[in-house]
A and B are shown apart, each in its own frame.
Chain A
């Protein structure tokens, strides 16, 4: 079923990006490209220790260098000393102690970036290293573990209790248990953190910045600068990818402090190594699952313990824990559930938002369990999932009713029916074999495997958050033609939101010429470009504001039936309306039972992965990745497919190669030489099927689409590698040695 919206270049069409031309000519101004005459360059001195007391900081050597204009420490923070997304626990600059490697300690502004870097390095800091808390299990459960923060190491414990697992366990005929681990993934956007802070005549600051959420940045920056929010004005500069890593602040306050101190514009750009140390990552997870079922593969109970390592500061860890708990059994009908999800502080790198947000880790574990259960029951992976699949009318682990279409069984049937790729001949072109030209055999050890996985993701902010967006829409006559100007603060981070906003305005107002104004804080908050929510919430705000404009226009037309649209606008002037849009309210999870209608929308994605594994060399080549996703309503087919491709690639990366390796609290691989993301050689052709079963509560019936593919692609690839090797593979990313050097594979 589809909703007809049919307007040329309106909703439902593959309208091209308005910024596409600027991006192919090199004119699009990313935050790192900004330039003002006379500007200074900022640099950050960071802690080399994961945990230490600071005994002294001497900025004298930096200030003595020619070309240096300022060197600042926590003593120079004009207002609040700490900030944070949900809770202010992160110092702007370290105060007497550091809690992770890479924590900012001091700042420098100089007339050249190289001078600024050298000056920062010249600052003398006397550290007294202390024991670092690096084991999240110890942080969670050992009462003798040192505390990273005064209130202890537990950030959030969220239980889910449904029915009676103890009683249910006696009725289970098959029980499978497993322990799983997910490594620390990085968002690895290509455009590093950067921004330009310009001191203003009113004592405030204008900040041009690559971010995901202008207003929450402003609300964290202003108190630390000791300024009212109105004096901190943010404009979105070009964003080179985000994927969650720009939801927390990086250099925003630092650049502003340096600009206010020196009275000069200050630009900061992180290098790649600093970027790895300067933003939050995906929480690594340790998970223990127990699934009980009947002999014919129907789930009886699920028991799980999920420990998420939040690192040194809180960031969005509480919400990530909420997702892992509420979505912890996946899209399956289960009568009895016992989940305990924990987020803890350690002295590891801080973790926060990344595409999939807590649902990714749980999905890898519960899908691995479903495959174990399938094997124990003698069923196929598709059959075990189909037998337990939710549908409209089911309840998820929180007791929340799925009151919109959720055709999981149909999606599984569709993906299972897709044709499989041909096997690769043994004497094939080396480039077709795992490892490509690095292959040192002739493919004698190559085995093929096929794996399936499904995922369940919440869309928009959950648990009672006042999640809204604001849109200002102005219909006017420009050069004798009607024109629409759409203004929101929503961050275009590459996902294509600018395109969608214009499509909605064309559809709602029937006007071809639409401009989307640059995003800034002169209009109300749009909320974050995260949680797959912008099409829904900012799309909803633009639609609502357009409807308000149309209502006024209709009244004018009724009064003056003889006038054309342009004549009306010429005579009576522009029509402008601003509207806020909110989705259905949600409630926090019950602190004891985890129950409640905590999510506003649920989305499903299904993947099938086909891999060739060289079991002797431990090399994996993904041959094909297929996906079926229900998006409710396709707003822009081309852009949507791009989101599914990209999200699937990031899931593939987590399955096979992406991990920030942390030893004793220190990052071992902060570079693209050592942190691997998929190249075009790693990414197979994709086969997509996109369904449109509308959600009547959402604008146009749409369902958020950016994150769900990142959930299911990881366990699908892992399942395919298991199918090829027969190995349990309980940890992602799967490394070559996990395949080639395990006792099972050697024997």
Chain B
């Protein structure tokens, strides 16, 4: 049986009709055409499919699309500003060579975006713990740690600029 659902994805209201067991990851990729969310293991281990559900990171391969009905979802495609300006995490991963093949990157970016909102100036230990649920096979993680710290710096600069502008 199919179910009509309404999701707010990256700020846009999207409607779809899905079978009850359609995974959120498949709904995003196939029904909504948002292929930036990647599927690496299909059972919640690798973290590549991580998206933000009402701001919190979730594994979209472990959730039914119908369960997300009525919720707000942010995917990697929604992290940049409306004018295309990259978010601090996006800029930092590109600048610090925090990616090689890049398949895991959207999941890392969603995890890190939520993490830095909670903890704007993390220590190394906190960074490592925060992203220990995301697998990367290419980088050996060294530059990913650098990228997270750099993202925190960029986020702080962006906030300072905004406060400056508000005055």
Contact = CB atoms under 8 A, between A and B. Distances in A.
Nearest to B124: A685
B36 interface: yes
B45 A29 contact: no
A429 B124 CA distance: 14
Nearest to B101: A494
Contact of A680 (B34, B80, B131): B131
Given A272-B42, A680-B132, A648 B140 contact: yes
Interface stretch (A235-243, A305-313, A581-589): A235-243
Nearest to B80: A25
A737 to B, nearest CB: 23
Contact of A240 (B79, B97, B103, B141): B103
Contacts of A26: 34-37, 75-77, 106
Question: Which one of A23, A35, A191, A673 has the greatest number of beta carbons of chain B within 10 Å?
Answer: A23
Nearest to A492: B101
Given A26-B35, A190-B103, A680 B141 contact: yes
A188 B136 CA distance: 10
A29 B131 CA distance: 24
B95 interface: yes
Interface string B118-138: 000000010011011111111
Contacts of A677: 135, 137
Interface stretch (B1-9, B52-60, B86-94, B159-167): B86-94
A29 B34 CA distance: 11
A683 B140 contact: yes
Contacts of B129: 431, 681
Interface in A485-518: 493-496
B76 to A, nearest CB: 4
Contacts of B40: 190-192, 240, 272, 672
A642 B132 CA distance: 19
Given A642-B138, A673-B43, A679-B132, A29 B104 contact: no
Interface string B142-161: 11110000000000000000
A24 B90 contact: yes
B48 interface: yes
B141 A649 contact: yes
Contacts of B29: 33
Given A21-B86, A673-B43, A28 B141 contact: no
B48 to A, nearest CB: 6
Contacts of B144: 680
A468 interface: no
B105 interface: yes
Given A25-B36, A645-B139, A677-B135, A671 B41 contact: yes
B103 to A, nearest CB: 3
Given A17-B94, A35-B35, A272-B40, A241 B103 contact: yes
Interface residues of B, number: 55
Given A30-B38, A677-B137, A681-B132, A24 B109 contact: yes
A646 B138 contact: yes
Question: Which one of B36, B48, B79, B137 has the greatest number of beta carbons of chain A within 10 Å?
Answer: B137
Contacts of B138: 241, 494, 642, 646
A491 to B, nearest CB: 11
A29 B35 contact: yes
Contacts of A242: 101
Given A16-B94, A26-B106, A191 B101 contact: yes
A287 to B, nearest CB: 27
B46 interface: yes
A190 B125 contact: no
A679 B140 contact: no
A497 to B, nearest CB: 11
A679 B80 CA distance: 27
Interface string A262-296: 00000000011000000000000000000000000
Contact of B35 (A14, A23, A33): A33
A595 interface: no
Given A243-B137, A272-B42, A680-B144, A24 B37 contact: no
Contacts of B11: none
A14 B43 CA distance: 37
A135 to B, nearest CB: 31
Nearest to A243: B137
Contacts of A20: 93-95, 97, 99, 102
B74 to A, nearest CB: 11
A190 B104 contact: yes
Contacts of A680: 128, 131-132, 134, 136, 141, 144-145
Nearest to B133: A679
Contacts, number: 174
Nearest to B35: A33
Interface residues of A, number: 59
B50 to A, nearest CB: 12
Question: Which one of A21, A191, A681 has the greatest number of beta carbons of chain B within 10 Å?
Answer: A191
A258 interface: no
Contacts of B145: 680
Nearest to B95: A16
B67 interface: no
Contacts of A431: 125, 129
Given A23-B102, A26-B75, A673-B45, A685 B137 contact: no
Contacts of A672: 40-41, 43, 45-46, 135
A179 to B, nearest CB: 31
A272 B36 CA distance: 18
A77 interface: no
Contacts of A673: 43, 45
Question: Which one of B29, B37, B94 has the greatest number of beta carbons of chain A within 10 Å?
Answer: B94
Nearest to A239: B101
A29 B35 CA distance: 8
Interface string A431-466: 100000000000000000000000000000000000
B131 A241 contact: no
Contacts of B125: 429, 431
A532 to B, nearest CB: 15
B88 to A, nearest CB: 11
Contacts of B134: 680
B105 A23 contact: yes
A738 interface: no
Contacts of B142: 641-642, 645, 683, 685-686
A384 interface: no
Contacts of B86: 21, 24-25
A264 to B, nearest CB: 17
Interface in A202-246: 238-243
Interface string A637-670: 0110110111111100000000000000000000
A284 B139 CA distance: 25
Interface string A19-45: 111011111111011010000000000
A53 interface: no
A24 B105 contact: yes
Given A189-B101, A239-B101, A645-B140, A25 B135 contact: no
A478 B99 CA distance: 31
A498 B33 CA distance: 27
A117 to B, nearest CB: 12
Contacts of B90: 24-25
Given A24-B109, A681-B128, A17 B97 contact: yes
Given A16-B95, A28-B102, A190-B101, 19 more contacts: A17-B99, A19-B102, A20-B102, A21-B94, A24-B89, A25-B77, A29-B35, A32-B35, A240-B102, A241-B100, A241-B103, A494-B100, A645-B141, A671-B41, A671-B45, A679-B133, A680-B136, A681-B128, A681-B132
Interface of A: 14, 16-17, 19-21, 23-30, 32-33, 35, 187-192, 238-243, 271-272, 429, 431, 493-496, 638-639, 641-642, 644-650, 671-673, 677-681, 683, 685-686
9 contacts: A16-B95, A24-B89, A32-B35, A32-B39, A35-B33, A190-B46, A645-B140, A672-B41, A677-B137
